[in-house]
């Protein structure tokens, strides 16, 4: 090139603050990881009697924050990232993404205060805003296949509202109604997303595997979960409700066991980035079967709840957060030792939380605290491990 030849323009390398707000998974995975670690550590201390009070919604704080704080943050980060890929249209970034993060943080602070109305508004507004954030590109692109995610976020917003109205109106209504609705919505989301990605990741990540999706099994597994969500809000009581619920749970459990087995989980043991998703998904039928036992009065109901939250939600989120963080920052899709430790800590915490009290009923409190420590350590390690990649430009130079 001669001295007179103009140089090609060079794209500036974005700064760390700019990179952080380029795509939804970056801030929300960091926020979710840090919050999962910190909030469970604080809750464990509160459970042990070392800290006072819960704030605006009382003892429901733990369930509220795991669902409407942590899980919704992961879901938002994932959907903002996935919808951009599905539609080739932008999802909230830059200043708008900062506003979303600020709204989420405000909700986390407000729920610790006595200002129940403010907490209700902020926490109800967030899933509604997230629904709008993905609805715009989905509608513009005509991507009807994924409209149901908008609807599920709206259901979550209704569930948040229900939880907050209990103390606000001082009515004798169980806060679990809102929590149960949110759990059912999350269960459907996990099942749908798991069915889309786990077979694909298995086939792509493990040569020679042939995971299958049978149409009848798919319709049964997903349809039974939708039916369960409907049954859970029916105005029935007593034996009719128990019979209908148990039958629906049994059908759903059978469908998900068969579905999971068709994905060949027994061939994934050498690939942590894949087996973590299979191990986490196995908690879905475990949850459903434990709910049967709980509804029949055989086992305590919280065991089933924690099979879903600590096991399925915890395992699938840590698995997808590491995978998405690697793939969307241009890094190889290979789990390193730190990733594997994260998986073992989170899934191990679920095992202790669910099965520990069954095996050692006299050590219930100890099992809860050990599980809390494992969960907190797993997500804390994720946050420390990925704060660098999530705040730096992609290593392959691509946008995102």
- Rounded mean pLDDT of the chain? 91
Query: Is it the case that residue 198 has pLDDT exceeding 80?
Result: yes
Average pLDDT of the segment spanning 372-391: 97
Q: Please tell me what DSSP assigns to residue 15.
A: P
Cα-based angle 357, 341, 257 (whole degrees, multiple of 5): 55
* Phi–psi pair at 67, nearest 5 degrees: -85, -55
- Both tokens assigned to 264: 């060949």
CA distance readout (Å), 393 to 9, 19, 76, 84, 226: 19, 6, 21, 18, 40
Q: Residues 232-262: pLDDT tens digits?
A: 988 777 888 899 999 999 999 999 999 999 9
CA distance readout (Å), 148 to 157, 193, 195, 359, 388: 14, 12, 15, 40, 34
Query: Is it the case that residue 5 has pLDDT exceeding 50?
Result: no
Query: Is it the case that residue 284 has pLDDT exceeding 70?
Result: yes
What whole-number percentage of the chain has pLDDT above 90?
78
Query: Please, is 12 exposed, middle or buried when counting C-beta atoms within 10 Å of its C-beta (0-12, 13-18, 19+)?
Result: exposed
Q: Residues 28-78: pLDDT tens digits?
A: 999 999 999 999 999 998 888 887 765 555 567 888 899 999 999 999 999
Res 56: pLDDT: 55
Res 7: pLDDT: 40
Place of tokens 């369960």: 228
Res 6: pLDDT: 40
pTM of the model as a whole: 0.91
- Both tokens assigned to 365: 């409190």
**pLDDT band at 162, cuts 50/70/90?**
confident
Domains of the chain plus CATH, in order, are: 16-391 (1.20.210.10)
């Amino acid at each position: 090139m001669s001295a007179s030849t103009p140089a090609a323009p060079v794209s500036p390398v974005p700064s760390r603050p700019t990179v952080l707000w380029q795509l939804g998974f970056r801030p929300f995975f960091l926020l979710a990881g840090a919050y999962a670690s910190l909030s469970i550590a604080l809750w464990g201390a509160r459970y042990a009697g070392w800290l006072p009070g819960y704030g605006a919604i009382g003892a429901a704080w733990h369930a509220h924050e795991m669902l409407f704080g942590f899980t919704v943050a992961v879901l938002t980060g994932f959907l903002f990232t996935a919808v951009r890929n599905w539609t080739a249209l932008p999802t909230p970034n830059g200043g708008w993404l900062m506003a979303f993060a600020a709204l989420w943080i405000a909700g986390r602070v407000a729920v610790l205060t006595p200002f129940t109305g403010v907490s209700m508004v902020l926490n109800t507004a967030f899933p509604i805003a997230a629904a709008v954030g993905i609805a715009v590109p989905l509608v513009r692109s005509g991507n009807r296949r994924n409209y149901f995610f908008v609807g599920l976020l709206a259901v979550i917003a209704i569930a948040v509202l229900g939880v907050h109205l209990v103390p606000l109106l001082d009515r004798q209504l169980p806060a679990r109604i809102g929590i149960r609705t949110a759990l059912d919505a999350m269960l459907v989301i996990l099942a749908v997303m798991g069915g889309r990605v786990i077979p694909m990741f298995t086939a792509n990540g493990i040569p020679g595997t042939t995971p299958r999706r049978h149409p009848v099994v798919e319709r049964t597994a997903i349809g039974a979960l939708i039916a369960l969500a409907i049954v859970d809000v029916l105005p029935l009581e007593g034996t009719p409700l128990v019979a209908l619920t148990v039958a629906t749970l049994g059908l759903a459990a059978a469908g998900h066991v068969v579905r999971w087995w068709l994905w060949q989980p027994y061939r994934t043991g050498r690939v942590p980035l894949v087996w973590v998703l299979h191990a986490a998904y196995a908690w879905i039928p475990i949850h459903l079967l434990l709910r049967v036992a709980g509804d029949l009065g055989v086992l305590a109901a919280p065991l089933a709840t924690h099979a879903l939250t600590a096991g399925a939600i915890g395992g699938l989120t840590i698995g997808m957060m590491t995978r998405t963080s690697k793939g969307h920052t241009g890094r190889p899709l290979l789990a390193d030792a730190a990733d594997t430790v994260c998986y073992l800590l989170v899934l191990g915490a679920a095992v202790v939380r669910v099965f520990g009290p069954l095996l050692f009923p006299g050590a219930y409190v100890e099992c809860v605290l050990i599980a809390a420590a494992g969960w907190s350590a797993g997500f804390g390690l994720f946050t420390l491990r990925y704060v660098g990649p999530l705040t730096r430009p992609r290593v392959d130079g691509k946008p995102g």
